[in-house]
Amino acid sequence: MSEPQGGQATPAIREADVLIVGGGLSGTLLAMQLLRLPGARNIVLVEPRVELGRGEAYSATELGHTLNGNAARMSIDPDDADDLTRWLKAHIASGGWPESALQDVPVEHLFPPRGLFGQYAQQRLAEALATGSAQGSSLTHVRDEAIDLQTEQNRVQVTLKDGRQLQAAVAVLATGMFPAARTAQRQSSGLNAAALDPWDVQALRGLPVDARVLIIGSGLTMVDALESLNRAGHRGSIEVFSRHGLLPHVRRQPPAWEDFLSQDPEIRSPLQLLRALRRQCELAEAAGIDWQAPLDTVRVHIGRLWSQASDVQRRQFVRHVRPWWESHHHRSPPQGNALLEQLLGEGRLTINAASLQGVEVSADGRPRIRLRYRGQAQVRVVEGDGLINSTGIEYDWRRVDKALPRQLLERGLIRAGNLGLGIAADPSGAVLNAQSEPAKRLFAMGPPLRGEWWESTAVTDVALQAKALAARLAL
């Protein structure tokens, strides 16, 4: 399934039927769906990592870095919601993940470590490969980075970092997410240069145990950073800064709630959705039911509501509603929330509503950040012993300083998506060029389509996209 990375001695790969750029979860799910379909096809997957199916999100090795959804919500099979639950039951029964007993809940309510989830995806890929091989299909993992792509009348040509060129009938951009903490920016505030990686426990061990740590961003990446600091043995103060100072709510397991959106087709805009959802949450609380129950029915409708909203409505949502949507919808796993509450209770953790104005490093190597606190005009300087970038994901491809996004944008093969989120595509995933014309041989899926569907990063959303795109490419 793989070949050695680099070197001119590597045999040429015959032209692929489908070439997938990116072998994280998105690209792996698409390959799985293609392998499962009847017919023989040659699939090439370009991914510099040794392992497929992990990408940035599921390469984590710390047990404390868990999924933010429980097993019942995280199946990679869009036709089988219990797939992950069954896999976990078998894995635990065979002696895997003994720490699961500490959560003391049914398997479907477990929040697995992200590294274990990557193992699950890899096993399902291996099974799909066996199915595909029996039908004459193949999957080749090319361990390299795609740095350029050109479309021609009858094919797509992809250039690799080592100079090789691959050809395919169609190509798919399944590049996954660009974590802000690990992605070079074309226009940088200097944050990454001064900051530590929120998932690098070894690097955090280099801080003094009582270090004053500053964190930019208060979302789920911040929760991961707290876990990393805890694993590193940190016992000092932690100060978190974000524009609104909002923390993610903890994810609970509420009872089922009626799908109110399917019964009201008049709800079409983000503002209408917000008002209707607020009413439903009030009804739930009045009945003694967790307000998260109505909220959990909304996910399946987000893509439809977002795609039919006007640009003005989308802009209003991003500007005024997004922070509250993120904190309520993208909730923290119970383990991460427990640590957060513990640190708040101990007085070691403080949350501040302030916007970052700049970053610098003092002569003795200590990070200094310039902040404007909410409601204040003046800029204040805060100095710490360590700085962590927990601002989440960079969705704007125009800001990403990587060869492939840069080349595609500069040559007009792609254009920025709605509100600068990801890249533009039609409803089938065909990429739109600078003239808004859909490509015939270039597609995208997953996080790059954030601007088209809003929630285009969650496992269930990506799995559905993979199934639909595979069906189209197999025609």
DSSP labels, 186-250? SS--SHHHHPBPTT-HHHHTTS-TT--EEEE--SHHHHHHHHHHHHTT--S-EEEEESS---PPB
Q: How confident is the model at residue 3 (pLDDT cuts 50, 70, 90)?
A: low
Q: In Å, how far from its chain's centre is CA 199?
A: 14
Tell me what the pLDDT averaged over the chain comes to.
93
Claim to verify: residue 401 and residue 456 sit in the same structural domain? yes
Give pLDDT tens digits for 180-210: 999 988 877 789 889 999 999 999 999 999 9
Q: How many domains does the chain have?
A: 3
Domain boundary among 353, 369, 389: 389
Specify the pLDDT at position 4: 39
Claim to verify: residue 298 and residue 436 sit in the same structural domain? no
Claim to verify: residue 399 and residue 362 sit in the same structural domain? no
Q: How confident is the model at residue 38 (pLDDT cuts 50, 70, 90)?
A: very high
Claim to verify: residue 122 and residue 31 sit in the same structural domain? yes
CATH code of 233's domain: 3.50.50.60
Give pLDDT tens digits for 284-330: 999 999 999 999 999 888 888 888 888 888 998 888 888 988 999 99
Interhelix angle 299-308/270-286, nearest 10 degrees = 150
Claim to verify: residue 128 and residue 15 sit in the same structural domain? yes
Q: How confident is the model at residue 2 (pLDDT cuts 50, 70, 90)?
A: low
317 part of a folded domain: yes
Specify the pLDDT at position 288: 97
Tokens 């949502």, located at residue: 317
Claim to verify: residue 213 and residue 315 sit in the same structural domain? no
412 part of a folded domain: yes
Coil, strand or helix at 306: helix
Domain boundary among 289, 312, 329: 329
Judge whether 243 and 372 are in contact, CB under 8 Å.
Answer: no
255 part of a folded domain: no
90 part of a folded domain: no
Claim to verify: residue 120 and residue 158 sit in the same structural domain? yes
Specify the pLDDT at position 307: 85
Q: Which of 457, 423, 399 is CA-nearest to residue 192?
A: 399
Residue 245 has pLDDT above 70, yes or no: yes
Q: How confident is the model at residue 1 (pLDDT cuts 50, 70, 90)?
A: low
83 part of a folded domain: no
Predicted TM-score (pTM) of this structure: 0.93
349 part of a folded domain: yes
Give pLDDT tens digits for 142-180: 999 999 999 998 999 999 999 999 999 999 999 999 999
Q: How confident is the model at residue 276 (pLDDT cuts 50, 70, 90)?
A: very high
Q: Which domain holds residue 368?
A: 181-249+332-389
Claim to verify: residue 127 and residue 191 sit in the same structural domain? no
Domain boundary among 296, 311, 329: 329
100 part of a folded domain: no
Give pLDDT tens digits for 422-445: 999 999 999 999 999 999 999 999
Q: In this prediction, what percent of the chain has a pLDDT beyond 90?
A: 82
Claim to verify: residue 163 and residue 207 sit in the same structural domain? no
Mean of pLDDT values over 65-93: 96
Q: How confident is the model at residue 228 (pLDDT cuts 50, 70, 90)?
A: very high
Claim to verify: residue 325 and residue 337 sit in the same structural domain? no
Q: Which of 167, 169, 165 is CA-nearest to residue 154?
A: 169
Residue 471 has pLDDT above 70, yes or no: yes
Claim to verify: residue 230 and residue 372 sit in the same structural domain? yes
Claim to verify: residue 20 and residue 47 sit in the same structural domain? yes
Residue 351 burial (CB count, 10 A): 17
Specify the pLDDT at position 143: 97
406 part of a folded domain: yes
